[in-house]
Structure 1
Amino acid sequence: MDFRLSAEQQERSDRIKVVAQTLSAPGIVDEGLQGSHRNTWKNLGTVGLLGAAVPEEHGGQGLGALDTALLYEGASDGGADTGLLFAAAAHLFACVMPVLEFALPQTRKTLLPTLCSGELTAGNAMTEPDAGSDVSRLATTATRVDGGYLLDGVKSFVSNGPVADVYVTYATTDPDGGYFGTTAFAVDRDSPGLFAGEPLRKSALASCQAGEVRFARCFVPDDRVLGRPGQGQVVFRTSMRWERSCLFAIYLGQQERLIRRCLQHVGQRRQFGKRLADHQPVADRLADMRLRLESGRLLLYRACTEIDADRDPDLWVALAKLAVSEAAVATSLDTALLFGGRAFLAEYGIEEEVRDAAPATTFSGTSAIQRQLIAREMGL
């Protein structure tokens, strides 16, 4: 096996790293202004992050899963805001990819170019107040009427919710249908009966605005159904394959960036007459950080390779999501320990890195869920 990046992959990664530090969202949370969001969002579209895995004929970059992951990893490694990258990844993997793979041709033609360019923002509306990990029990319902469906229910923690133009959402269409009891929809923000709430005040991933979305007899036409009625779980599972692999490349980049900072710090900081780097426990901690990063990276690249080869990626996706998310949390905490009291000073940004890493083991399926999926793939 050749683990080296191709010249094209390396050039693309180097290019995104150069512009990464310009990818930030100052004031976006405090202002809550569509105008501020639009400017930031179009920048993400310009550098290709919003349509990386979408074919060029639909306005995207035409990249596979591995190259898309490398793009997000490079942006994070180069210093792009983690919350903003998370917002872009939620837009692409949880929303744009379901539209690409399951929408009707005319719906794809209408939505995809503007979603890839950053003209439109997509919000991921799956989670409910009483349905987080158990997505098979959605209280939101979709009632069949002439020409479409009426949606009723509440979605919580909707990524990009306060600023989204389109929501990919899921609702129960057959309470007795089991696996085939839910249906996926792409719903316009201006649909009568759709109410987007104010941004939640978060301590992590702050540049990704999240909020509640309510549906009250919200009419969705038939041409905005994703897949066939009853295929909601299929749509969701497919989107999760992309999200649990490519999105977590953000945390590979974060770990690489933190390790680099730690190496610089322990090489300069002195305690007890010698550099921190010369204390064996410090060297051991850094070795563990590198081990976690490289192990997770291999699993994530393998998961993406399986997706690109059109093979069943579920085992590798679950392994990668579990390994990378837990490594991100551990490495951010190790960074805080190595920086000591400085880690709690806002000017160093370490405490923000810890806060941004902490949710990684919760969203896109908790670590417990990933272990269940791994066990199931092992035949248990």
Structure 2
Amino acid sequence: MRWEWDGAEDELSRELRGLGEEFLSKDVAERDRDGVFSRGDWTSCAEHGVLGLLLPPEYGGAGRDPVAYARAMEGLGYGCLDNGLMMAMGAHVLAAEVPVWEFGDEEQRRRYLPGLAAGRLIGANAMTERGSGSDALSLATVAEPDGDSYRLTGRKLYVTNAPVADLFVVYATVDPSLGFTGVTAFLVERGDAGVSVKEQAEKMGLRTARWGEVELDACRIPASRRLGAERQGGAVFARTMAWERALLMAPWLGVMRREIDECLRFVRRRRQFGKHIGHFQSVANRIVDMRIRWEAARLLLHRAAAELDRPEAGIFPEIGKLYASEAAVDVLTSAMQVYGAVGYTTGGRVERNLRDALGMTISSGTSDMQRVIIAGRLGITWPDTETNTEGNGDGR
């Protein structure tokens, strides 16, 4: 674990914080109300290298490691008020760019990664179905081999970025009887015949990150756009989820820290009963607890990011995502108590952040599902045998 940042990492974090404060999300309250994605802010982030931070330079990226990425996105999260924009970028980078980078062949990398890094292409991950979310065994989208191609048929739901995406990482099964081992990943372009996209119902929060349905009607995809080997989709998806769960909450470290700083300023000027409300122990203790949750979330996410350098990321992506997402809800709920009626006002920063934070406990697997996965990694629930009752307790 690294406890200190070098000058370049600190400078990048400050630069992205400044980008968020100066150029991004000026009209976020209105766009949140109307559910509008900002293509202009997306382009600004791309021009400042945000979308290519993790990719090697030969594909248009900056070659940053996962911990440096977490630090950079924390800075952006502090400065940027548009949590939906950061959610859209997380889905694009972690669930579209990363699998192409890690599992794609050289032709696929050259074809897609420079455009994704530059923001010319927007990526999306299409896994969830009506009967299949975290349960990939229930996947119903079928990929039927057809000569040197596959015909994909199925319907994907709740796909972040779908209404604006150019490239979809789609998971389908080549044989439903094989369960998870039949899952295969494909690169589907928006313009492919048989692909239709429509916007889904409005969301409670993260409204500037648009989501939708992707329907595949005998969509013919050449074998050259299969991502990884046939029946390797389970491994592609598992690795993608490790990246997403480890790093999706990184901007929220900045959001939480900004909210704590705002609360400190507020309690130092708000007076009741003849004194600043920070002198009331209940208020002071609440802010202390907010800071402790932020510190713990930061440590866990940095540990999760560091583990991504291993072939198996272990238990920390799920622990980090679970704790940080629930800590964000706790911090924003506490902030609302500090502000009182002002915090509860529709269209205000605290109210919007709380709605958005609740959505982060669902994204990339609900909190309940994270606990199920962690329990399995600890050997509590799987395998259902008595062959190993001790374990080493670290999830690896």
* TM bucket normalised to smaller: over 0.9
In the other structure, the counterpart of 2:54 is 53
In the other structure, the counterpart of 2:321 is 321
Asked if 2 retains the 8 angstrom alpha-carbon contact of 1:25 and 1:84, the reply is no
In the other structure, the counterpart of 1:281 is 282
In the other structure, the counterpart of 1:272 is 273
Taking the aligned partners of 1:156 and 1:332, their CA distance within structure 2 comes to 29
In the other structure, the counterpart of 1:344 is 344
Taking the aligned partners of 1:350 and 1:30, their CA distance within structure 2 comes to 15
> What is the CA distance between 1:232 and its match in structure 2?
1.0
Residues 334/314 of structure 1: CA separation in 2 closer, same or farther (3 Å cut): same
Q: Deviations over 1:94-147 (max 9, x none)?
A: 111011111121111010000100001112211112212212311111111112
In the other structure, the counterpart of 1:216 is 217
In the other structure, the counterpart of 1:118 is 119
Q: How do 1:295-314 and structure 2 match up within 5 A? A: 295-308=296-309, 310=310, 312-314=312-314
In the other structure, the counterpart of 2:332 is 332
- The reply on whether 1:206 has 2:233 as its aligned counterpart is no
Asked if 2 retains the 8 angstrom alpha-carbon contact of 1:38 and 1:119, the reply is no
Asked if 2 retains the 8 angstrom alpha-carbon contact of 1:157 and 1:211, the reply is yes
> What is the CA distance between 1:29 and its match in structure 2?
7.4
In the other structure, the counterpart of 1:152 is 153
In the other structure, the counterpart of 2:375 is 375
Taking the aligned partners of 2:212 and 2:350, their CA distance within structure 1 comes to 26
Residues 45/17 of structure 1: CA separation in 2 closer, same or farther (3 Å cut): same
Taking the aligned partners of 1:13 and 1:83, their CA distance within structure 2 comes to 19
Q: How do 1:155-304 and structure 2 match up within 5 A? A: 155-198=156-199, 200-304=201-305
**What is the CA RMSD across the aligned residues, in angstroms?**
1.9
Question: Which sits farther off after the overlay, 159-168 or 337-346?
Answer: 337-346
In the other structure, the counterpart of 1:4 is 4
Q: Deviations over 1:334-372 (max 9, x none)?
A: 111111000122453211011110011111111122112
Please, which runs of 5 or more residues in structure 1 have no aligned partner? none
SS in 2 for 1:127: coil
Taking the aligned partners of 1:154 and 1:366, their CA distance within structure 2 comes to 21
Tell me which stretches of 4 or more aligned residues in structure 1 moved more than 6 Å: 27-33
SS in 2 for 1:136: helix
Asked if 2 retains the 8 angstrom alpha-carbon contact of 1:72 and 1:247, the reply is no
Taking the aligned partners of 1:198 and 1:354, their CA distance within structure 2 comes to 24
Asked if 1 retains the 8 angstrom alpha-carbon contact of 2:199 and 2:210, the reply is no
Taking the aligned partners of 1:265 and 1:31, their CA distance within structure 2 comes to 29
Asked if 1 retains the 8 angstrom alpha-carbon contact of 2:304 and 2:320, the reply is yes
Residues 365/314 of structure 1: CA separation in 2 closer, same or farther (3 Å cut): farther
Residues 212/28 of structure 1: CA separation in 2 closer, same or farther (3 Å cut): farther
> What is the CA distance between 1:50 and its match in structure 2?
1.3
Please, which runs of 5 or more residues in structure 2 have no aligned partner? 381-396
**TM-score normalised by structure 2 residue count:** 0.91
Q: How do 1:18-167 and structure 2 match up within 5 A? A: 18-21=18-21, 22-24=23-25, 26=27, 38-167=39-168
State the percentage of identical aligned residues: 39
Residues 31/283 of structure 1: CA separation in 2 closer, same or farther (3 Å cut): closer
In the alignment, residue 154 of structure 2 is paired with which amino acid?
G
SS in 1 for 2:217: strand
SS in 2 for 1:41: helix
In the alignment, residue 297 of structure 2 is paired with which amino acid?
G
Asked if 1 retains the 8 angstrom alpha-carbon contact of 2:124 and 2:162, the reply is yes
Asked if 1 retains the 8 angstrom alpha-carbon contact of 2:35 and 2:208, the reply is no
Asked if 2 retains the 8 angstrom alpha-carbon contact of 1:29 and 1:209, the reply is no
Asked if 1 retains the 8 angstrom alpha-carbon contact of 2:158 and 2:200, the reply is no
Taking the aligned partners of 2:275 and 2:31, their CA distance within structure 1 comes to 44
SS in 1 for 2:51: coil
Pairs aligned (count) = 377
SS in 1 for 2:294: helix
Asked if 2 retains the 8 angstrom alpha-carbon contact of 1:184 and 1:231, the reply is yes
